[in-house]
Amino acid sequence: MKDSNQNGQPLDSLDEWEDDVVRRYPEEAHKAKEDFRNYEAPARDTVKEFYRINHINQTYDFVLEKKNDFLKFNRREMSLWDAVEFLNTLVDDSDPDIDLDQTQHLLQTSEAIRADGHPDWFILTGFLHDLGKVLCLFGEPQWAVVGDTFPVGCAYSDKIVYPEFFKQNPDYNNPRFNTKYGVYSPNCGLDNVQMSWGHDEYLYHIMRDYLPEEALYMIRYHSFYAQHREGAYEHLMSPHDHKMFKWVEKFNPYDLYSKAPTPPNVNELRPYYEDLAAQFLPDTLKF
């Protein structure tokens, strides 16, 4: 059963979800824990509606359908920079916090990583990490593009934001999917687990033949807050997952806390990033 509002656009801006994540998990460690997950403020109404639709519709079968459709990579073929400029059409003037296009946001993330002296592949990952949002330009609704990600095919954790909305998901009462392990086995490893569909999973599959494994974990799981912030899925993770998640945890502060009102100089930085991409990626990518 699909929700009647599944094609709605509950967020005023795609960045609104990331801004909400920052509110949930502020960088300041001294902030009171009860202030981390405050969802009742009126400003969060659109985010709450976003997650209501997301949680109703992100089923196991839905994920398999989307992967079967989009992982054919038959929508468009572009160079990396063409894809980034294509993504710029998602700029939303309603974002009250920052007036930057997608290129500038990606560059802020990657330039912060670069300034801290991380390896080339890490810098490139920062520049690439949100490229999967082109799904919106292929007609996907917001709830199937952004949002916290989580496993499907097993019981939904109460550590996922707004867990009460899963009660309307068809998988919630399905005995095949509603147990702790569902269709999986203990510590089977996340590579054997189906994650909710969105820009993270999509970009991971685009990049899986080109980047180091550490980078692929960063891309695929950077929105999996129920695990890397809450530890909710230890029972599905392998020792190798835990090792790789140290890189996910290292990446996330650059994604969430690198926004600044001063835009990077795109024209000045473009040659560096074109050369960087040429080290790892083919001339064109299939989307």
d(CA 271, CA 73): 27
Q: Round the average pLDDT of the chain to a whole number and report it.
A: 87
Decide if 10 contacts 142 (C-beta within 8 A).
Answer: yes
Residue 255 pLDDT more than 90?
Answer: no
Q: Which two tokens stand for residue 87?
A: 């993504």
- What residues contact residue 210 under an 8 Å CB cut-off, 6+ apart? 280, 281, 282
If residue 286 lies in a helix (H) or strand (E), which one and from where to where? strand 285-286
pLDDT at 97 over 50: no
Select from 252, 243, 256 the least CA-distant residue to 219.
252
**Alpha carbon distances (Å) from 111 to 18, 211, 260:** 19, 19, 12
Which tens digit of pLDDT belongs to each residue from 105-142? 889 999 999 999 999 999 999 999 999 999 999 999 99
pTM metric for this prediction: 0.86
* Percent of the chain residues past pLDDT 70, beyond the cut: 85
What local confidence, expressed as pLDDT, does residue 2 receive?
41
Whether the pLDDT of residue 100 is over 70: the answer is no
The residue ranges of every structural domain in the chain are 15-286
Whether pLDDT at 93 is above 80: no
* pLDDT at residue number 202: 98
Which residues have C-beta within 8 Å of that of residue 242, sequence separation ≥ 6? none
Beta bridge partners of 286: 77
